[in-house]
Chains A and B, each alone.
Chain A
Protein backbone atom coordinates (compact mmCIF):
# COMPACT_ATOMS: atom_id res chain seq x y z
CA UNK A 1 0.00 0.00 0.00
CA UNK A 2 1.36 3.39 -1.03
CA UNK A 3 1.22 5.87 1.82
CA UNK A 4 1.49 9.63 1.35
CA UNK A 5 1.50 10.30 5.07
CA UNK A 6 2.34 8.02 7.96
CA UNK A 7 2.84 8.99 11.57
CA UNK A 8 3.39 7.03 14.75
CA UNK A 9 3.03 8.10 18.34
CA UNK A 10 3.12 11.85 17.82
CA UNK A 11 3.27 13.76 21.09
CA UNK A 12 3.43 17.51 21.46
CA UNK A 13 3.19 19.45 24.67
CA UNK A 14 3.09 23.22 24.80
CA UNK A 15 4.16 25.38 27.74
CA UNK A 16 1.70 25.47 30.62
CA UNK A 17 1.31 21.71 30.16
CA UNK A 18 -1.13 21.89 27.32
CA UNK A 19 -0.91 18.43 25.78
CA UNK A 20 -1.88 19.13 22.20
CA UNK A 21 -1.08 15.66 20.87
CA UNK A 22 -1.11 12.57 22.99
CA UNK A 23 0.23 9.67 20.92
CA UNK A 24 -1.32 10.13 17.52
CA UNK A 25 -1.01 7.60 14.66
CA UNK A 26 -2.00 8.25 11.08
CA UNK A 27 -1.78 6.67 7.68
CA UNK A 28 -3.03 8.34 4.54
CA UNK A 29 -3.05 6.60 1.17
CA UNK A 30 -1.70 8.38 -1.85
CA UNK A 31 -4.27 10.10 -4.01
CA UNK A 32 -7.05 10.22 -1.44
CA UNK A 33 -8.76 12.97 0.50
CA UNK A 34 -8.16 12.35 4.15
CA UNK A 35 -10.08 14.23 6.79
CA UNK A 36 -9.25 15.04 10.36
CA UNK A 37 -12.33 16.09 12.23
CA UNK A 38 -12.45 17.51 15.69
CA UNK A 39 -13.45 20.55 17.72
CA UNK A 40 -11.11 23.50 18.23
CA UNK A 41 -8.20 22.55 20.41
CA UNK A 42 -8.41 18.84 19.60
CA UNK A 43 -4.94 18.85 18.06
CA UNK A 44 -5.70 19.25 14.36
CA UNK A 45 -3.52 22.28 13.74
CA UNK A 46 -0.69 20.84 15.80
CA UNK A 47 -0.78 17.72 13.63
CA UNK A 48 -0.62 19.84 10.47
CA UNK A 49 2.26 21.88 11.91
CA UNK A 50 4.27 18.75 12.61
CA UNK A 51 3.54 17.08 9.28
CA UNK A 52 4.48 20.27 7.41
CA UNK A 53 7.81 20.66 9.32
CA UNK A 54 6.72 23.89 10.99
CA UNK A 55 6.88 22.37 14.42
CA UNK A 56 8.81 19.45 15.94
CA UNK A 57 7.07 16.72 17.92
CA UNK A 58 8.30 15.89 21.43
CA UNK A 59 8.03 12.22 20.56
CA UNK A 60 7.03 10.04 17.65
CA UNK A 61 7.88 10.11 13.99
CA UNK A 62 6.26 10.94 10.70
CA UNK A 63 6.93 10.57 7.00
CA UNK A 64 5.31 12.70 4.33
CA UNK A 65 5.66 11.83 0.64
CA UNK A 66 8.24 9.28 1.70
CA UNK A 67 10.46 11.72 3.61
CA UNK A 68 11.07 11.96 7.32
CA UNK A 69 9.73 15.26 8.65
CA UNK A 70 12.50 15.53 11.24
CA UNK A 71 15.49 14.34 9.23
CA UNK A 72 14.54 15.51 5.72
CA UNK A 73 12.51 18.67 6.27
CA UNK A 74 13.64 20.28 3.02
CA UNK A 75 12.56 17.30 0.92
CA UNK A 76 9.20 17.31 2.70
CA UNK A 77 8.78 21.04 2.05
CA UNK A 78 9.41 20.54 -1.66
CA UNK A 79 6.75 17.86 -1.86
CA UNK A 80 3.96 19.59 0.03
CA UNK A 81 1.65 22.56 -0.38
CA UNK A 82 0.17 24.12 2.72
CA UNK A 83 -2.91 26.25 3.09
CA UNK A 84 -2.89 27.40 6.67
CA UNK A 85 -5.78 28.16 8.92
CA UNK A 86 -4.91 31.84 8.80
CA UNK A 87 -4.44 33.22 5.35
CA UNK A 88 -0.72 33.55 4.76
CA UNK A 89 -0.94 35.88 1.78
CA UNK A 90 1.01 39.08 1.70
CA UNK A 91 -1.82 41.59 1.80
CA UNK A 92 0.32 44.47 0.55
CA UNK A 93 1.27 42.68 -2.66
CA UNK A 94 -0.80 41.77 -5.71
CA UNK A 95 -2.09 38.27 -6.31
CA UNK A 96 0.45 37.73 -9.07
CA UNK A 97 3.34 39.00 -6.94
CA UNK A 98 2.33 36.59 -4.20
CA UNK A 99 2.36 33.70 -6.63
CA UNK A 100 5.65 34.84 -8.12
CA UNK A 101 7.50 34.97 -4.80
CA UNK A 102 6.05 31.64 -3.74
CA UNK A 103 7.23 30.06 -6.98
CA UNK A 104 10.68 31.64 -6.66
CA UNK A 105 11.08 30.11 -3.22
CA UNK A 106 10.51 26.73 -4.86
CA UNK A 107 13.19 27.46 -7.42
CA UNK A 108 10.86 28.39 -10.29
CA UNK A 109 11.87 31.26 -12.54
CA UNK A 110 11.26 33.29 -15.66
CA UNK A 111 8.63 32.42 -18.24
CA UNK A 112 7.66 29.10 -16.68
CA UNK A 113 6.85 30.82 -13.44
CA UNK A 114 4.82 33.57 -15.13
CA UNK A 115 2.91 30.99 -17.12
CA UNK A 116 2.15 29.00 -14.00
CA UNK A 117 0.99 32.13 -12.16
CA UNK A 118 -1.34 33.08 -15.04
CA UNK A 119 -2.70 29.55 -15.17
CA UNK A 120 -3.47 29.52 -11.45
CA UNK A 121 -5.01 32.99 -11.45
CA UNK A 122 -7.32 31.95 -14.29
CA UNK A 123 -8.16 28.66 -12.75
CA UNK A 124 -9.14 30.25 -9.42
CA UNK A 125 -11.17 33.04 -11.00
CA UNK A 126 -8.60 35.68 -10.16
CA UNK A 127 -7.44 36.52 -13.67
CA UNK A 128 -8.74 40.07 -13.47
CA UNK A 129 -7.83 40.60 -9.83
CA UNK A 130 -4.29 39.28 -10.29
CA UNK A 131 -2.81 42.74 -10.69
CA UNK A 132 -4.63 44.17 -7.69
CA UNK A 133 -3.35 44.46 -4.13
CA UNK A 134 -4.72 41.59 -2.04
CA UNK A 135 -6.15 44.01 0.53
CA UNK A 136 -8.90 44.80 -1.98
CA UNK A 137 -9.92 41.11 -2.30
CA UNK A 138 -13.02 39.62 -0.73
CA UNK A 139 -12.65 36.85 1.85
CA UNK A 140 -13.44 34.17 -0.72
CA UNK A 141 -10.96 35.58 -3.25
CA UNK A 142 -8.24 35.67 -0.62
CA UNK A 143 -8.95 32.07 0.31
CA UNK A 144 -8.74 31.01 -3.34
CA UNK A 145 -5.41 32.79 -3.64
CA UNK A 146 -4.27 30.90 -0.54
CA UNK A 147 -4.99 27.63 -2.28
CA UNK A 148 -3.35 28.82 -5.49
CA UNK A 149 -0.21 29.64 -3.48
CA UNK A 150 -0.20 26.13 -2.06
CA UNK A 151 -0.32 24.68 -5.58
CA UNK A 152 2.30 26.78 -7.41
CA UNK A 153 4.94 24.05 -7.40
CA UNK A 154 2.48 21.21 -8.08
CA UNK A 155 2.90 19.47 -4.73
CA UNK A 156 2.18 15.78 -4.20
CA UNK A 157 0.43 16.37 -0.91
CA UNK A 158 -1.75 19.37 -0.12
CA UNK A 159 -2.56 20.30 3.47
CA UNK A 160 -5.73 22.28 3.99
CA UNK A 161 -6.04 23.40 7.59
CA UNK A 162 -9.65 24.38 8.16
CA UNK A 163 -9.98 25.84 4.68
CA UNK A 164 -13.56 27.04 5.07
CA UNK A 165 -13.59 28.32 8.64
CA UNK A 166 -15.04 31.80 8.75
CA UNK A 167 -16.31 31.76 5.17
CA UNK A 168 -19.96 32.40 4.45
CA UNK A 169 -22.02 29.41 3.22
CA UNK A 170 -21.98 30.38 -0.43
CA UNK A 171 -18.20 30.75 -0.53
CA UNK A 172 -17.87 27.51 1.38
CA UNK A 173 -19.85 25.68 -1.30
CA UNK A 174 -17.48 27.09 -3.95
CA UNK A 175 -14.52 25.93 -1.91
CA UNK A 176 -15.93 22.42 -1.65
CA UNK A 177 -16.36 22.29 -5.41
CA UNK A 178 -12.76 23.47 -5.78
CA UNK A 179 -11.42 20.79 -3.45
CA UNK A 180 -13.37 18.08 -5.29
CA UNK A 181 -11.99 19.33 -8.59
CA UNK A 182 -8.42 19.14 -7.25
CA UNK A 183 -8.64 15.47 -6.44
CA UNK A 184 -10.60 14.56 -9.51
CA UNK A 185 -8.25 16.29 -11.95
CA UNK A 186 -4.85 16.02 -10.33
CA UNK A 187 -4.90 12.93 -8.19
CA UNK A 188 -3.20 14.94 -5.48
CA UNK A 189 -3.33 13.67 -1.89
CA UNK A 190 -5.24 16.04 0.36
CA UNK A 191 -5.01 16.20 4.12
CA UNK A 192 -7.94 18.26 5.30
CA UNK A 193 -8.78 19.33 8.81
CA UNK A 194 -12.15 20.71 9.69
CA UNK A 195 -14.47 21.21 12.58
CA UNK A 196 -17.48 21.05 10.32
CA UNK A 197 -19.04 17.62 10.40
CA UNK A 198 -20.84 18.12 7.12
CA UNK A 199 -17.57 19.12 5.47
CA UNK A 200 -15.80 15.95 6.51
CA UNK A 201 -18.85 13.99 5.44
CA UNK A 202 -19.02 15.65 2.03
CA UNK A 203 -15.36 15.76 1.05
CA UNK A 204 -13.30 13.04 2.63
CA UNK A 205 -12.87 9.42 1.71
CA UNK A 206 -11.37 8.36 5.00
CA UNK A 207 -11.42 10.33 8.16
CA UNK A 208 -10.33 10.26 11.75
CA UNK A 209 -12.03 11.92 14.64
CA UNK A 210 -9.67 13.51 17.12
CA UNK A 211 -10.41 14.56 20.62
CA UNK A 212 -7.90 15.93 23.14
CA UNK A 213 -4.89 14.96 21.05
CA UNK A 214 -5.97 11.39 20.38
CA UNK A 215 -7.73 9.62 17.58
CA UNK A 216 -11.02 8.27 18.84
CA UNK A 217 -12.41 6.83 15.62
CA UNK A 218 -11.22 6.09 12.10
CA UNK A 219 -12.79 4.88 8.88
CA UNK A 220 -14.90 6.11 6.00
CA UNK A 221 -17.76 8.43 6.91
CA UNK A 222 -20.17 5.63 5.95
CA UNK A 223 -18.37 3.05 8.10
CA UNK A 224 -18.33 5.35 11.06
CA UNK A 225 -22.00 6.09 10.72
CA UNK A 226 -22.74 2.45 10.01
CA UNK A 227 -21.14 1.41 13.30
CA UNK A 228 -23.93 3.23 15.00
CA UNK A 229 -26.49 0.83 13.57
CA UNK A 230 -29.85 2.37 13.02
CA UNK A 231 -31.61 5.65 13.49
CA UNK A 232 -31.20 8.24 16.18
CA UNK A 233 -34.21 9.24 18.19
CA UNK A 234 -34.03 12.63 19.76
CA UNK A 235 -36.71 13.63 22.25
CA UNK A 236 -37.06 17.00 23.93
CA UNK A 237 -38.82 16.56 27.25
CA UNK A 238 -41.23 19.13 28.61
CA UNK A 239 -39.39 19.05 31.93
CA UNK A 240 -36.13 17.51 33.18
CA UNK A 241 -36.10 13.93 34.35
CA UNK A 242 -36.63 13.58 38.10
CA UNK A 243 -35.26 10.17 39.09
CA UNK A 244 -34.59 7.81 36.23
CA UNK A 245 -38.21 7.34 35.14
CA UNK A 246 -37.32 8.04 31.50
CA UNK A 247 -34.67 5.36 31.38
CA UNK A 248 -36.97 2.96 33.19
CA UNK A 249 -39.73 3.64 30.70
CA UNK A 250 -37.56 2.76 27.71
CA UNK A 251 -35.36 0.00 29.10
CA UNK A 252 -38.04 -2.64 28.73
CA UNK A 253 -38.77 -1.80 25.09
CA UNK A 254 -36.07 -4.10 23.76
CA UNK A 255 -35.23 -2.55 20.40
CA UNK A 256 -34.31 0.86 21.85
CA UNK A 257 -30.61 1.08 22.69
CA UNK A 258 -27.97 3.49 23.99
CA UNK A 259 -30.39 5.54 26.00
CA UNK A 260 -28.88 8.78 27.20
CA UNK A 261 -30.70 11.40 29.19
CA UNK A 262 -29.14 14.79 29.63
CA UNK A 263 -31.41 17.32 31.34
CA UNK A 264 -34.39 17.71 29.05
CA UNK A 265 -32.78 15.90 26.15
CA UNK A 266 -33.21 12.21 25.51
CA UNK A 267 -31.16 10.41 22.88
CA UNK A 268 -31.53 6.81 21.88
CA UNK A 269 -30.94 4.52 18.99
CA UNK A 270 -33.19 2.02 17.23
CA UNK A 271 -33.18 -0.12 14.10
CA UNK A 272 -36.34 1.37 12.64
CA UNK A 273 -37.08 4.88 13.78
CA UNK A 274 -40.54 5.19 12.24
CA UNK A 275 -41.81 2.12 14.05
CA UNK A 276 -40.17 2.96 17.33
CA UNK A 277 -41.50 6.49 17.77
CA UNK A 278 -45.12 5.69 18.74
CA UNK A 279 -43.90 2.93 21.07
CA UNK A 280 -41.45 5.28 22.77
CA UNK A 281 -44.06 8.00 23.16
CA UNK A 282 -46.52 5.56 24.63
CA UNK A 283 -43.98 4.24 27.11
CA UNK A 284 -43.02 7.73 28.22
CA UNK A 285 -46.66 8.73 28.65
CA UNK A 286 -47.30 5.62 30.71
CA UNK A 287 -44.51 6.75 33.08
CA UNK A 288 -45.94 10.25 33.32
CA UNK A 289 -43.23 11.93 31.22
CA UNK A 290 -44.47 14.77 29.01
CA UNK A 291 -42.80 15.26 25.64
CA UNK A 292 -42.17 18.57 23.81
CA UNK A 293 -40.84 17.24 20.50
CA UNK A 294 -39.51 14.15 18.78
CA UNK A 295 -37.17 13.82 15.84
CA UNK A 296 -35.84 10.75 14.09
CA UNK A 297 -32.70 10.96 11.97
CA UNK A 298 -30.23 8.82 10.12
CA UNK A 299 -26.94 8.66 12.02
CA UNK A 300 -24.73 11.70 11.48
CA UNK A 301 -21.09 12.29 12.22
CA UNK A 302 -22.26 14.31 15.20
CA UNK A 303 -23.67 11.05 16.59
CA UNK A 304 -20.38 9.33 15.83
CA UNK A 305 -18.57 12.02 17.72
CA UNK A 306 -20.92 11.76 20.67
CA UNK A 307 -20.57 8.01 20.74
CA UNK A 308 -16.76 8.08 20.80
CA UNK A 309 -16.09 11.03 23.05
CA UNK A 310 -19.09 11.02 25.34
CA UNK A 311 -19.92 14.62 24.55
CA UNK A 312 -21.65 16.30 21.67
CA UNK A 313 -19.65 18.19 19.14
CA UNK A 314 -21.19 21.53 20.04
CA UNK A 315 -20.40 21.00 23.72
CA UNK A 316 -16.79 20.20 22.88
CA UNK A 317 -16.59 23.31 20.73
CA UNK A 318 -17.84 25.62 23.43
CA UNK A 319 -15.61 23.98 26.04
CA UNK A 320 -12.63 24.54 23.75
CA UNK A 321 -13.63 28.14 23.19
CA UNK A 322 -13.82 28.70 26.95
CA UNK A 323 -10.39 27.12 27.45
CA UNK A 324 -9.02 29.27 24.68
CA UNK A 325 -10.30 32.41 26.35
CA UNK A 326 -8.83 31.31 29.63
CA UNK A 327 -5.44 30.75 27.99
CA UNK A 328 -5.56 34.14 26.32
CA UNK A 329 -6.32 35.78 29.64
CA UNK A 330 -3.29 34.09 31.14
CA UNK A 331 -1.12 35.25 28.29
CA UNK A 332 -2.38 38.80 28.64
CA UNK A 333 -1.67 38.68 32.35
CA UNK A 334 1.84 37.42 31.72
CA UNK A 335 2.55 40.47 29.62
Chain B
Protein backbone atom coordinates (compact mmCIF):
# COMPACT_ATOMS: atom_id res chain seq x y z
CA UNK B 1 0.00 0.00 0.00
CA UNK B 2 2.71 2.47 0.96
CA UNK B 3 4.52 1.67 -2.27
CA UNK B 4 1.33 2.43 -4.22
CA UNK B 5 0.97 5.76 -2.46
CA UNK B 6 4.59 6.63 -3.09
CA UNK B 7 4.32 5.70 -6.75
CA UNK B 8 1.15 7.73 -7.09
CA UNK B 9 3.00 10.71 -5.68
CA UNK B 10 5.96 10.23 -8.06
CA UNK B 11 3.59 10.00 -10.99
CA UNK B 12 1.71 13.13 -10.01
CA UNK B 13 5.02 14.96 -9.56
CA UNK B 14 5.87 14.04 -13.12
CA UNK B 15 2.50 15.39 -14.27
CA UNK B 16 2.98 18.62 -12.37
CA UNK B 17 6.43 19.17 -13.87
CA UNK B 18 5.08 18.58 -17.36
CA UNK B 19 2.31 21.05 -16.74
CA UNK B 20 4.52 23.80 -15.43
CA UNK B 21 6.70 23.42 -18.53
CA UNK B 22 3.73 24.47 -20.64
CA UNK B 23 3.06 28.01 -19.48
CA UNK B 24 0.82 28.57 -22.49
CA UNK B 25 -1.47 25.80 -21.34
CA UNK B 26 -1.64 27.27 -17.84
CA UNK B 27 -2.44 30.70 -19.30
CA UNK B 28 -5.17 29.34 -21.54
CA UNK B 29 -6.85 27.34 -18.81
CA UNK B 30 -6.98 30.49 -16.67
CA UNK B 31 -7.73 33.12 -19.31
CA UNK B 32 -10.94 31.38 -20.30
CA UNK B 33 -12.60 31.40 -16.87
CA UNK B 34 -11.28 34.87 -16.16
CA UNK B 35 -12.99 36.10 -19.31
CA UNK B 36 -16.19 34.44 -18.12
CA UNK B 37 -15.99 36.24 -14.79
CA UNK B 38 -14.99 39.64 -16.16
CA UNK B 39 -17.09 39.81 -19.32
CA UNK B 40 -20.10 37.75 -18.40
CA UNK B 41 -20.10 39.06 -14.87
CA UNK B 42 -20.21 42.64 -16.11
CA UNK B 43 -22.53 42.16 -19.08
CA UNK B 44 -25.16 40.30 -17.02
CA UNK B 45 -24.88 42.54 -13.99
CA UNK B 46 -28.58 43.39 -14.03
CA UNK B 47 -29.78 39.78 -14.31
CA UNK B 48 -30.14 39.43 -10.54
CA UNK B 49 -33.12 41.80 -10.71
CA UNK B 50 -35.09 38.79 -12.01
CA UNK B 51 -34.87 37.44 -8.48
CA UNK B 52 -34.15 33.96 -7.03
CA UNK B 53 -30.36 34.49 -7.19
CA UNK B 54 -30.09 34.79 -3.44
CA UNK B 55 -27.93 37.90 -3.91
CA UNK B 56 -28.05 41.18 -5.80
CA UNK B 57 -24.44 40.85 -6.85
CA UNK B 58 -24.20 38.68 -9.99
CA UNK B 59 -20.43 38.26 -9.56
CA UNK B 60 -21.04 36.68 -6.17
CA UNK B 61 -23.46 34.30 -7.86
CA UNK B 62 -21.36 33.57 -10.95
CA UNK B 63 -17.85 33.07 -9.52
CA UNK B 64 -18.56 29.78 -7.67
CA UNK B 65 -20.17 28.47 -10.87
CA UNK B 66 -17.07 29.36 -12.89
CA UNK B 67 -14.81 27.74 -10.29
CA UNK B 68 -16.74 24.48 -10.60
CA UNK B 69 -16.90 24.74 -14.39
CA UNK B 70 -13.13 25.19 -14.62
CA UNK B 71 -12.49 22.09 -12.52
CA UNK B 72 -14.94 20.23 -14.75
CA UNK B 73 -13.03 21.19 -17.88
CA UNK B 74 -9.65 20.33 -16.37
CA UNK B 75 -11.08 16.92 -15.54
CA UNK B 76 -12.46 16.48 -19.02
CA UNK B 77 -9.12 17.12 -20.72
CA UNK B 78 -7.12 15.05 -18.26
CA UNK B 79 -7.16 11.89 -20.38
CA UNK B 80 -5.17 13.42 -23.24
CA UNK B 81 -1.82 12.96 -21.59
CA UNK B 82 -2.60 9.28 -21.25
CA UNK B 83 -3.06 8.90 -25.00
CA UNK B 84 0.27 10.61 -25.56
CA UNK B 85 1.95 8.31 -23.05
CA UNK B 86 0.51 5.27 -24.80
CA UNK B 87 1.54 6.50 -28.25
CA UNK B 88 5.07 7.36 -27.17
CA UNK B 89 5.72 4.07 -25.41
CA UNK B 90 5.97 5.77 -22.00
CA UNK B 91 3.07 3.70 -20.71
CA UNK B 92 4.69 0.42 -21.71
CA UNK B 93 7.93 1.54 -20.07
CA UNK B 94 6.07 2.09 -16.79
CA UNK B 95 4.27 -1.23 -17.08
CA UNK B 96 7.51 -3.23 -17.19
CA UNK B 97 8.73 -1.60 -13.95
CA UNK B 98 7.37 -2.54 -10.51
CA UNK B 99 5.33 0.71 -10.60
CA UNK B 100 2.00 0.17 -8.90
CA UNK B 101 -0.56 -0.21 -11.69
CA UNK B 102 -3.03 2.06 -9.96
CA UNK B 103 -0.49 4.88 -9.65
CA UNK B 104 -0.58 5.41 -13.41
CA UNK B 105 -4.21 6.56 -13.27
CA UNK B 106 -4.28 7.90 -9.71
CA UNK B 107 -1.13 9.96 -10.19
CA UNK B 108 -3.04 11.89 -12.83
CA UNK B 109 -6.01 12.30 -10.50
CA UNK B 110 -3.85 13.72 -7.72
CA UNK B 111 -2.28 16.19 -10.13
CA UNK B 112 -5.75 17.11 -11.34
CA UNK B 113 -6.90 17.82 -7.78
CA UNK B 114 -3.86 19.99 -7.06
CA UNK B 115 -4.29 21.96 -10.28
CA UNK B 116 -8.02 22.40 -9.67
CA UNK B 117 -7.32 23.74 -6.19
CA UNK B 118 -4.77 26.24 -7.50
CA UNK B 119 -7.04 27.36 -10.34
CA UNK B 120 -9.97 27.73 -7.95
CA UNK B 121 -7.93 29.87 -5.58
CA UNK B 122 -6.84 32.17 -8.41
CA UNK B 123 -10.38 32.50 -9.76
CA UNK B 124 -11.79 33.24 -6.33
CA UNK B 125 -9.16 35.89 -5.84
CA UNK B 126 -10.08 37.49 -9.16
CA UNK B 127 -13.78 37.28 -8.30
CA UNK B 128 -13.08 38.82 -4.94
CA UNK B 129 -11.02 41.67 -6.48
CA UNK B 130 -13.77 42.48 -8.99
CA UNK B 131 -16.44 42.66 -6.31
CA UNK B 132 -17.74 39.20 -5.43
CA UNK B 133 -18.63 38.83 -1.79
CA UNK B 134 -18.28 35.68 0.35
CA UNK B 135 -19.06 34.89 3.94
CA UNK B 136 -16.50 32.39 5.26
CA UNK B 137 -13.15 30.86 4.40
CA UNK B 138 -14.51 27.45 5.38
CA UNK B 139 -17.26 27.92 2.79
CA UNK B 140 -14.64 28.68 0.15
CA UNK B 141 -12.82 25.48 1.00
CA UNK B 142 -16.03 23.49 0.63
CA UNK B 143 -16.54 25.15 -2.76
CA UNK B 144 -13.04 24.13 -3.86
CA UNK B 145 -13.67 20.59 -2.62
CA UNK B 146 -16.90 20.40 -4.63
CA UNK B 147 -14.94 21.48 -7.73
CA UNK B 148 -12.24 18.88 -7.08
CA UNK B 149 -14.79 16.07 -6.68
CA UNK B 150 -16.46 17.04 -9.93
CA UNK B 151 -13.07 17.28 -11.63
CA UNK B 152 -12.23 13.81 -10.32
CA UNK B 153 -15.46 12.35 -11.73
CA UNK B 154 -14.84 13.71 -15.20
CA UNK B 155 -11.10 13.14 -14.95
CA UNK B 156 -11.71 9.46 -14.30
CA UNK B 157 -14.21 9.26 -17.17
CA UNK B 158 -11.83 11.06 -19.50
CA UNK B 159 -8.98 8.73 -18.57
CA UNK B 160 -11.19 5.68 -18.97
CA UNK B 161 -12.34 6.81 -22.38
CA UNK B 162 -8.85 7.79 -23.55
CA UNK B 163 -7.38 4.44 -22.65
CA UNK B 164 -10.15 2.67 -24.57
CA UNK B 165 -10.43 4.75 -27.76
CA UNK B 166 -6.80 5.97 -27.81
CA UNK B 167 -7.60 8.75 -30.27
CA UNK B 168 -7.36 12.37 -29.21
CA UNK B 169 -9.90 13.64 -31.73
CA UNK B 170 -12.54 11.25 -30.47
CA UNK B 171 -11.96 12.25 -26.88
CA UNK B 172 -12.08 15.98 -27.71
CA UNK B 173 -15.38 15.51 -29.51
CA UNK B 174 -16.88 13.43 -26.71
CA UNK B 175 -15.72 15.80 -23.99
CA UNK B 176 -17.23 18.80 -25.74
CA UNK B 177 -20.39 16.89 -26.50
CA UNK B 178 -20.89 15.99 -22.85
CA UNK B 179 -19.45 18.88 -20.88
CA UNK B 180 -21.03 21.89 -22.58
CA UNK B 181 -24.65 20.73 -22.25
CA UNK B 182 -24.03 19.62 -18.67
CA UNK B 183 -22.75 23.10 -17.88
CA UNK B 184 -25.64 24.94 -19.49
CA UNK B 185 -28.24 22.58 -18.07
CA UNK B 186 -27.08 23.45 -14.57
CA UNK B 187 -27.20 26.46 -12.26
CA UNK B 188 -23.72 27.68 -13.21
CA UNK B 189 -25.11 30.84 -14.81
CA UNK B 190 -28.74 31.03 -13.64
CA UNK B 191 -30.70 29.76 -10.64
CA UNK B 192 -33.04 26.79 -11.05
CA UNK B 193 -36.11 29.01 -11.09
CA UNK B 194 -34.74 30.89 -14.12
CA UNK B 195 -33.75 27.83 -16.16
CA UNK B 196 -36.94 27.98 -18.21
CA UNK B 197 -38.56 24.73 -19.28
CA UNK B 198 -39.48 22.22 -16.58
CA UNK B 199 -37.45 19.40 -18.15
CA UNK B 200 -34.28 21.45 -17.76
CA UNK B 201 -34.98 21.79 -14.05
CA UNK B 202 -35.61 18.07 -13.74
CA UNK B 203 -32.41 17.33 -15.66
CA UNK B 204 -30.41 19.71 -13.47
CA UNK B 205 -31.44 17.77 -10.41
CA UNK B 206 -29.68 14.66 -11.76
CA UNK B 207 -26.73 16.56 -13.18
CA UNK B 208 -23.50 16.11 -11.17
CA UNK B 209 -22.33 19.52 -12.40
CA UNK B 210 -25.35 20.99 -10.70
CA UNK B 211 -24.67 19.05 -7.49
CA UNK B 212 -21.20 20.58 -7.32
CA UNK B 213 -22.38 24.11 -8.15
CA UNK B 214 -25.22 23.92 -5.63
CA UNK B 215 -23.06 22.54 -2.83
CA UNK B 216 -20.23 24.97 -3.49
CA UNK B 217 -22.34 28.05 -3.91
CA UNK B 218 -24.52 27.41 -0.89
CA UNK B 219 -21.39 26.94 1.17
CA UNK B 220 -20.12 30.44 0.37
CA UNK B 221 -23.51 32.13 0.69
CA UNK B 222 -24.84 33.29 4.10
CA UNK B 223 -26.74 30.75 6.25
CA UNK B 224 -25.66 27.57 4.45
CA UNK B 225 -27.95 24.53 4.48
CA UNK B 226 -25.26 22.04 5.60
CA UNK B 227 -27.54 19.01 5.33
CA UNK B 228 -28.15 19.71 1.65
CA UNK B 229 -24.49 20.57 1.05
CA UNK B 230 -23.13 17.40 2.63
CA UNK B 231 -25.76 15.37 0.78
CA UNK B 232 -24.56 16.72 -2.57
CA UNK B 233 -20.91 16.30 -1.63
CA UNK B 234 -21.69 12.71 -0.64
CA UNK B 235 -23.29 12.04 -4.02
CA UNK B 236 -20.27 13.54 -5.77
CA UNK B 237 -17.86 11.44 -3.69
CA UNK B 238 -19.75 8.22 -4.43
CA UNK B 239 -19.79 9.02 -8.13
CA UNK B 240 -16.08 9.89 -8.07
CA UNK B 241 -15.24 6.51 -6.54
CA UNK B 242 -17.48 4.71 -9.06
CA UNK B 243 -15.86 6.50 -11.99
CA UNK B 244 -12.36 5.78 -10.64
CA UNK B 245 -13.23 2.08 -10.47
CA UNK B 246 -14.44 2.30 -14.05
CA UNK B 247 -11.15 3.92 -15.05
CA UNK B 248 -9.07 1.20 -13.41
CA UNK B 249 -11.18 -1.43 -15.19
CA UNK B 250 -10.66 0.32 -18.52
CA UNK B 251 -6.95 0.38 -17.75
CA UNK B 252 -6.91 -3.38 -17.12
CA UNK B 253 -8.59 -3.88 -20.46
CA UNK B 254 -5.78 -1.86 -22.01
CA UNK B 255 -3.16 -4.05 -20.32
CA UNK B 256 -4.82 -7.14 -21.73
CA UNK B 257 -4.82 -5.71 -25.22
CA UNK B 258 -1.06 -5.06 -25.31
Binding site for B on A (CB under 8 A): 49, 52-56, 74, 77-78, 80, 82, 84-93, 97, 101-102, 104-107, 133, 149, 335
Contacts and interface: CB of A to CB of B under 8 A. Distances in A.
A162 to B, nearest CB: 12
B29 to A, nearest CB: 17
Nearest to B94: A105
A52 B96 contact: yes
A106 B17 contact: no
Contacts of A93: 14, 17-18
Given A88-B89, A335-B167, A54 B7 contact: no
B21 A92 contact: yes
A104 B167 CA distance: 30
B172 interface: no
Top 9 A-B pairs ranked by shortest CB distance?
A88-B93, A86-B89, A88-B89, A105-B99, A105-B97, A82-B96, A52-B96, A104-B10, A77-B98
Given A89-B90, A101-B10, A133-B21, 20 more contacts: A49-B258, A54-B92, A54-B96, A55-B258, A56-B256, A74-B98, A80-B96, A82-B96, A84-B92, A84-B93, A87-B89, A88-B93, A92-B18, A92-B21, A92-B22, A93-B18, A104-B10, A105-B94, A105-B97, A335-B167
Nearest to A152: B97
For chain B, what secondary structure do more than half of its interface residues adopt (helix, strand, loop), or is it mixed? helix
A55 B95 CA distance: 10
A304 B88 CA distance: 35
Given A54-B258, A92-B21, A97-B17, A107 B90 contact: no
30 contacts: A49-B258, A54-B95, A54-B96, A54-B258, A78-B98, A84-B93, A86-B88, A86-B92, A87-B88, A87-B89, A88-B88, A88-B90, A91-B88, A92-B18, A92-B21, A93-B14, A97-B17, A101-B13, A101-B14, A102-B93, A104-B6, A104-B7, A104-B10, A105-B7, A105-B94, A105-B98, A105-B99, A106-B98, A107-B3, A133-B21
A90 B90 contact: yes
A12 B89 CA distance: 21
Contact of B89 (A56, A84, A101, A105): A84
Contact of A106 (B88, B97, B256): B97
Interface string B175-194: 00000000000000000000
A250 B33 CA distance: 84
Nearest to A81: B96
Contacts of A77: 96-98
B10 A105 contact: yes
Max chain A C-beta neighbours (<10 A), residue from B13, B18, B21, B93:
B93
Interface residue tally of chain B, by bracket? 20 to 34
A151 to B, nearest CB: 13
Contacts of B18: 90, 92-93
Nearest to A90: B90
Contacts of B92: 54, 84, 86, 88
B24 to A, nearest CB: 13
A165 to B, nearest CB: 13
A104 B97 CA distance: 10
Max chain B C-beta neighbours (<10 A), residue from A85, A87, A105:
A105
Contacts of A54: 92, 95-96, 258
A78 B97 CA distance: 7
Contacts of B3: 107
Interface in B135-192: 167
Contacts of B88: 86-88, 91
A102 B97 contact: yes
Contacts of A55: 258
Contacts of B258: 49, 54-55
Nearest to A48: B96
B196 to A, nearest CB: 38
B34 to A, nearest CB: 26
A143 to B, nearest CB: 12
A92 B88 CA distance: 11
Contacts of A90: 14, 18, 90
A105 B18 CA distance: 18
Nearest to A78: B98
Max chain A C-beta neighbours (<10 A), residue from B21, B92, B167:
B92
